Amino acid sequence: MKKEELEDKINSLIRKRDKLIIERDKVEKEIQDLMDKLLSLDKRYVKAQCIVCRGLGYIQADNKKKLCHYCGGKQFIWVRKFEEEKK
């Protein structure tokens, strides 16, 4: 293969990869939305303020705001209700 052909092939694969990443992100968001709906219907779970970002959805680091890795920027997490065992 010639240099130009290799460059074209590489660029084509990079574009393909970028499209797949975008599609993966869309699918991941859809899964998260469905999980939120499912958990909202389950009486054993409640929403709680994210314990990492304290409900901000982001973490301040190095003078930059970064999306909270724990709640994904949603500002909340789902937690299972605590029930003491009856004796």
Q: What is the pTM of this model?
A: 0.70
85 pLDDT higher than 80: no
Confidence band for 73, pLDDT divided at 50, 70 and 90: very high
What is the H or E stretch that residue 66 is in? strand 64-67
pLDDT of residue 1: 84
Q: What is the pLDDT of residues 2-59, one digit of tens each?
A: 999 999 999 999 999 999 999 999 999 999 999 999 999 999 999 999 999 999 999 9
Domain ranges of the chain: 1-41, 44-82
Q: Which tokens hold the place of 4?
A: 């130009």
Give backbone dihedrals phi and psi of 53, rounded to 5 degrees, phi first: -95, 0
